[in-house]
Structure 1
Amino acid sequence: MPLEQLWLFISITLVVSASPGPVMLACMIDAGRYGFQQSLYTMAGATLGNLVLMLLSALGLGLLVEQAEWIFHSIKWIGAAYLVYLGLQLMRASPITTTAISAPAHHQQIFSRAFIIAVTNPKGLIYFGALFPQFINVQHSLAPQFLLLTVIFVAMDLVWMSVYALGGRSIMYWLKTPANQRWFNWISGGLLVAAGIALAFSKL
């Protein structure tokens, strides 16, 4: 890949990954509630979800989704409903103790929740399906090119997820009282519900 194309892909990925979407919001919330270390499971689950979308895009499912509108809308509504569900659950959650916030529990639940959020985000499938081919030279072997783009995206996405998670960790000092935890749960849950509604009615 020519150097100018590589820098263009890096620049686009840097901007897209930085946007405060559902995945970044989940990293911030989990780090705020359970600590930065626990949010690593959120990052791992989201990364696996994105890798699945990249693989599907590489196999041509991105084009299929663009042509089969019902598939796209099904993924879209499932993802939106799941975000609203998570938001409502968080708004109803009871305050937890400072010890419980940092306790190494629910690793699988945190991981699987982030995976579902990422893999049901139709924007990701459209993004990978539309952007990756622009930087692929069909005259050369496809696998190494897809691998390079994937590594770049995952690395930059992990950097931004860490930034959001560190922001959430700083909130932990404010979460020592039950009243502040309730406010945090309501605000975070409301943001997830809003993200789900916005996803449901977005025109992609």
Structure 2
Amino acid sequence: MTLHVWLGFLVAAILIAVTPGPGAVLSMSTGLRYGYGSALTAILGLQAAILTHLTIVALGLGALLAASEWAFSVVKFIGAAYLLWLGIQKWRVPVIPADAEPLPVRNGGLFVQGMLVNLTNPKAVVFIGALVPQFIDPVAGYPLQYAEIAATLCGTDIVVMSFYALAAVRLADWLHNPKMIRWQNRIFGGLFVTAGGLLAASSKPV
């Protein structure tokens, strides 16, 4: 991949990452509740899903998902249901001030949660499937090009999601007031539910 082509892909990757979505909501809510360290675990889960999406595209399965309305709808509604479930769980989380004994958190669970949030979004596979081939040189080596693309997508997304998480950490004073805790739980719960509803109502990109 030439420098000119890579810079074009980098711009596209940045635009994809900064567009608010379920990953940004997860990064902010986890950072706000548990701190950046735990948020980073969830962010790495998001990257595992991106790598899975790239593998799907590289194997040609992304084209199948893009062409099949039925397959797209199945994955779409699974993803929407998962986001709705996350929203309900966030709405119901206990109100515990930040200076109280923290809720137990399993980093492995946060990693899986991050992975599932991205993995169950079929539009991500279709979008990557439409974007990535435009930057692939068919006469060059595929493994190296996909490695460059994976590093660019994941590196960019980690930086942007970390920014979202650290911005939320700056709002940690919310967690010293039970009323504010309740409101932030409901705000993020509502955002997850909204994201799930938008995903369920979305149509397959053309």
TM-score normalised by L of structure 2: 0.94
Which residue pairs with 1:62 in the alignment? Answer: 62
Which residue pairs with 2:92 in the alignment? Answer: 92
Asked if the contact 1:33/1:101 (under 8 Å) is kept, the reply is no
Deviation at 1:2, TM superposition (A): 2.7
Deviations 1:169-193 (A, max 9, x none): 1121221121110000011100110
Deviations 1:100-121 (A, max 9, x none): 6866722122111111101111
Letter in 2 for 1:196: G
Structure 1: how far apart are the matches of 2:159 and 2:100? 27
Asked if the contact 1:31/1:38 (under 8 Å) is kept, the reply is yes
Letter in 2 for 1:77: F
Change (3 A) 1:97 1:174: closer
Three-state SS of the structure 1 residue aligned to 2:14 is helix
Which residue pairs with 2:118 in the alignment? Answer: 118
Task: Report 1:36-115 matches (<5 A).
Answer: 36-99=36-99, 105-115=105-115
Asked if the contact 2:87/2:190 (under 8 Å) is kept, the reply is yes
Three-state SS of the structure 2 residue aligned to 1:98 is coil
Letter in 1 for 2:98: T
Three-state SS of the structure 2 residue aligned to 1:95 is coil
Deviations 1:110-164 (A, max 9, x none): 1111111011111210122111110111111111111111111110010001000
Three-state SS of the structure 1 residue aligned to 2:94 is coil
Q: Percent identity?
A: 35
Change (3 A) 1:100 1:30: farther
Asked if the contact 2:84/2:196 (under 8 Å) is kept, the reply is yes
Backbone CA RMSD of aligned residues: 1.5
Structure 1: how far apart are the matches of 2:101 and 2:45? 20
Q: Which has the higher helix share?
A: 1
Which residue pairs with 1:130 in the alignment? Answer: 130
Letter in 2 for 1:194: T
Asked if the contact 1:35/1:101 (under 8 Å) is kept, the reply is no
Three-state SS of the structure 1 residue aligned to 2:170 is helix
Structure 1: how far apart are the matches of 2:25 and 2:195? 9
Task: Report 1:23-42 matches (<5 A).
Answer: 23-42=23-42
Letter in 1 for 2:83: L
Asked if the contact 2:97/2:175 (under 8 Å) is kept, the reply is no
Instruction: Say if 2:160 is the partner of 1:160.
Output: yes
TM-score normalised by L of structure 1: 0.95
Structure 2: how far apart are the matches of 1:101 and 1:17? 34
Deviations 1:10-31 (A, max 9, x none): 1111111101110111000000
Name the count of aligned residue pairs: 204
Asked if the contact 1:34/1:101 (under 8 Å) is kept, the reply is no
Three-state SS of the structure 2 residue aligned to 1:138 is coil
